[in-house]
Chains A and B, each alone.
Chain A
């Protein structure tokens, strides 16, 4: 198998009395959608923040295209080619769409902002995503939730990343917009990007993910090929039913899952 574009091993992170992550490993290959699954508090968001450089890990190793790298700040992750779209979008409400798309990554001509180039590129980008916006110069505060999500995803693509991390991208979206986002994820994969999809929604995961990595209480809880794995197996891994220590609970926990399926 080829070298993963992004590979983590032995990642640990502690917040006060809480060991949020312990010895977590994860890898993402080019042209692959990896779903990162886990119950609330399993450490998904913490892991995303470690990779994005927002909250660096206490210990562990991050390898990028095979070589060890330090990711201490968001700009480290960005310059490697890791783009992150957070659950709360992290847009500046007072800035317009173009300004938000290029925030921290502005195009400069002769020392000043190249608004023309940025607006043209923003328009082309949004057109390519089949998105229509009322105007590119309205503050993002005036946009709907779905539009804001698409702006957030579009922004991450401008940096020409190799790995895109999406934190619950469809959580607040309607049916049509969810389908658009899933289409977009598939398009990213087809273009050779590695996608790390954090989601609670098993339907989304089964629709687009190639692999599912499960976190359970801050530890690796399993790594599945989505094609060969049943819904119940993944749910069991998320809920901890497959933990060795809890095998005797397995029957009780998996049964309701099977009933539901």
Chain B
């Protein structure tokens, strides 16, 4: 409709600077105008903690374990750590999608187990090619997720109950599929084993680091230039440089450390790849926006024409598929699938990692990087206590304390956001 044009592009809008002058009540919160510490202080007061608490926590944990055991920060231990966190980390990536909806998935451990069982039976008992077995394992997760999501979204059974049934039922299916022996050993030299045994040459590791940092810096730079050209608020070049440096230091540092042992592990790269892909999906795509919208207000999302049921089913499908990938990684690392594969603390650790990483249990808040950060925190605790020859009892108690701290921070941040009226 031609006569409607004035609504979206008013006649007097042109270069009339006064129109675009910023509201005098507007607070400036760019890095440059406040300085780094000013920005952090404001964010803390406003309840927008971001990844800061978990990064501080990670540094503290590493410092403590390094003083208690000199080999904690050794390249070998850190390399092992980076592979150890992959299985639960993938499960966490799926769980946090469900948490963003404001729901919970209690079945990820059992789904990982049953998918591992399908993988082992397909690869060994049916002697299918290993990549086919991997595909079947992942497909198992996908189908299970669609079942969970459909019962939750279409029938209206609370997700807690659906996935509680899944927790019990799929573990039963795992034991049933594995049969009388209960354990199926996998070959060492196949696609499955290679998943966690492959390490990249140092040069390739550096290549990944360069690509990763460039993939952040270049689009950011041109994005901000476009914003500047459009007359929108934008970040300065200085701020972009600071942000790029803040990313480059850990990326290149990690590659440097990993290269001193065997190189960048394929499994860790797969995990980080999923985290980055999910982050981009959540922030940059229409689908991600829908997930946040459903998590924020399902009714508002529905009225905006979003197919809420489809979003819910797809999120549960993603969560279970990633759980299945976690199960495949567990099988790869253990060269076997048994009745107890993924039947231990994997579920609790996956949910705890998401929350520790900064994804809110209340829905609508969080990001994919919480899987990586939370996984690193829990992995560091497990690894450090292993070096100190402490047993599981201590690990569970320390993990519980860290989890409680994370949830308390989330609750405090939520309260602070309320008093600062930021949702």
Contacts and interface: CB of A to CB of B under 8 A. Distances in A.
B7 A125 contact: yes
Nearest to A121: B8
B422 A138 contact: yes
A124 B9 contact: yes
A142 B300 contact: no
A128 B232 contact: no
A106 B421 contact: no
A26 to B, nearest CB: 21
B116 to A, nearest CB: 34
A133 B300 contact: no
A104 B306 CA distance: 6
Interface string A179-220: 000000000000111000000000000000000000000000
A16 interface: no
Interface string B291-302: 011011101111
Interface of B: 1, 3-4, 6-10, 13, 19-20, 23, 25-27, 223, 226-227, 230-233, 280, 284-286, 289, 292-293, 295-297, 299-306, 364-365, 417, 420-423
A161 to B, nearest CB: 9
Interface in A117-157: 119-121, 123-125, 127-128, 132-135, 137-142, 157
Given A106-B286, A192-B1, A192-B4, A92 B301 contact: yes
A91 interface: yes
Interface string A77-119: 0100000101001111111000100011110100111001001
B284 A127 contact: no
A107 to B, nearest CB: 9
A16 to B, nearest CB: 18
A74 interface: yes
A128 B10 contact: yes
Contacts of B304: 74, 90, 103-105
Contacts of B226: 116
A12 interface: no
Contacts of A113: 284-286, 289
28 contacts: A52-B303, A74-B302, A74-B304, A74-B305, A75-B305, A84-B303, A86-B303, A90-B304, A91-B297, A95-B293, A99-B292, A99-B293, A104-B306, A106-B286, A111-B285, A113-B285, A113-B286, A113-B289, A116-B232, A119-B230, A120-B230, A124-B8, A124-B9, A124-B13, A128-B6, A132-B23, A135-B233, A191-B7
Contact of B292 (A86, A94, A127): A94
Contacts of B1: 160, 162, 191-192
Contact of A134 (B3, B26, B231, B303): B26
Given A84-B303, A116-B226, A141-B421, A92 B364 contact: yes
A106 B232 CA distance: 19
Nearest to A144: B421
A92 B3 contact: no
Contacts of B301: 92, 103-104
Contacts of B302: 54, 74
A105 B422 CA distance: 24
A116 B230 contact: yes
B306 A103 contact: yes
A103 B423 contact: no
A99 B295 CA distance: 14
A158 interface: yes
Most buried by A among B1, B20, B227, B296: B296
